[in-house]
Amino acid sequence: MNPTRNYSSRPNTFRNGPIRRGKPMANRGRTQNRGVRGERIDVSRFINKSVITEEVEHFVPEHKFADFIIDERLKANILLKGYKLPTPIQDRAIPHVLRGEDVVGIANTGTGKTAAFLIPLINKVLVAQTQGLGSKENILIMVPTRELAIQIDVELKGFLGSSQLFKIFSVVTVGGAPIGPQMRDLKYHNNFVIGTPGRIKDLVERKALNLALFKTVVLDEADRMLDMGFIADMKLLMSKMPPMPPQGPRHTLFFSATLSTEVERLIKDFLYNPVRISVKTSDTSKNVDQDIVRVPRGAFKVDVLASLLRQPEFDKVLVFSRTKHGAEKLANVLNERGFKTESIHGDKVHSRRQKALTLFKDGAVQVLVATDVAARGLDINGVSHVINFDIPSTYDDYVHRIGRTGRGGKKGKALTFID
């Protein structure tokens, strides 16, 4: 394995158990600051006041979208979407992907990494089509959750536009949805297959999907796939694809928010001479005002939450619960108290999760209660507050949670309940 190259851009519970209507639950003290996987998180890390300063360091991109050597029709669609200047990860990654190089992208959530791989890969398909090889340019995008897969597909269709200028097709293959329609869709040629490891494995085993035909693979949020126990599935699926250079033609793009020993091992196993691009500027967004909410001894957490939600500025609130059962129970209680609330978690069927997300995105409900896994990769505009009703398992989970607010340059607030 050749040594990697490095490029760096620096823009520049409810407690466990039932809700009790009568006698308050006993406080557990400082042990509540431990995540379920045992990581002790100092309470002070949940407090960080966002400050607007007069002097800020501005990232100056090397390119404009108009500068990239891509199909003019695609370029026109990008500009129609209002994209003019690329984000740091887009500015650094797109040229390397266009040259067919393997890329490792280390970037915080909300940095525009989806467009960083979609734009050059759409162009890759278009180039193949002009050479009469469009049916041979197949791309697999592997992600940890169904919501992220659907979100990537929506963004893909957004770049393709509604004009039908491109004959580029995609299919989403995720668990929690009926496998029959996905198998039927796979009988037709799809340039992009976007899915979760478990469902992709099912389709391969049913011989509905032949990964030997896919020369390009994107592993998005690879660290989360590791956390969710998909490592064996990932290795199995990668083994069924063409080999990486110099033995084969595989082109691999790898994106992660963190860089652990396990992630480094995957990079070594899956990528050839990758370009490393890091645009992580800090653990948590500078646009997010972070604070804690101490629950008084003898008080109910849900009462404290309800009093916050009645304040007018809490207009679009994402509440995190540690467990699926806790998320559903909390959503039901908030609805009983008059708050328009939906929930998303692993026990909810795909169609109901999508309906809940749509209602929240459209402002039809005020509160969305979610678990960490279900909310992974969500891109929802205008989330005013993130509330950690339960302490996150790890600080990385905390960073991911609060990244759902303060997006697109807007200010956001994150509150963490402490007993």
What would the pLDDT profile of 239-261 be if each residue is shown by its tens digit?
999 999 999 999 999 999 888 88
pLDDT band per the 50, 70, 90 thresholds, residue 27: very low
Range of the domain at 328: 20-48+284-418
Please report, for the domain that includes residue 207, its CATH number.
3.40.50.300
Q: Which of 388, 94, 113 is nearest to 223 (CA)?
A: 113
β-bridge mates for residue 278, sequence order: 8, 106
Are residues 31 and 82 both part of a single domain? Answer: no
Residue type, 360: F
Residue 14: inside a domain: no
Q: What is the pLDDT of residues 298-333, one digit of tens each?
A: 889 999 999 999 999 999 999 999 999 999 999 999
The residues facing 416 across adjacent strands are 292, 388
The answer as to whether 115 is a domain residue is yes
| Domain final residue pick, 240, 258, 278 | 278
**Are 256 and 391 contained in the same domain?**
no
Residues 89 and 179 in one domain: yes
> Does one domain contain both 351 and 214?
no
Which residues in 9-36 are b (16+ Cβ under 10 Å) and which e? Answer: bebebbbeeebeeeeebeeeeeebbebe
Number of domains in the chain: 2
Looking at the fold, whether 300 and 273 belong to one and the same domain comes out as no
Query: 72 falls in which pLDDT band (50, 70, 90)?
Result: very high
> What is the distance between the alpha carbons of residues 43 and 113, in angstroms, rounded to a whole number?
31
Burial of residue 155 (CB within 10 Å: 0-12, 13-18, 19+) is middle
Give me the pLDDT at residue 409, please: 67
pLDDT value of residue 377 = 64
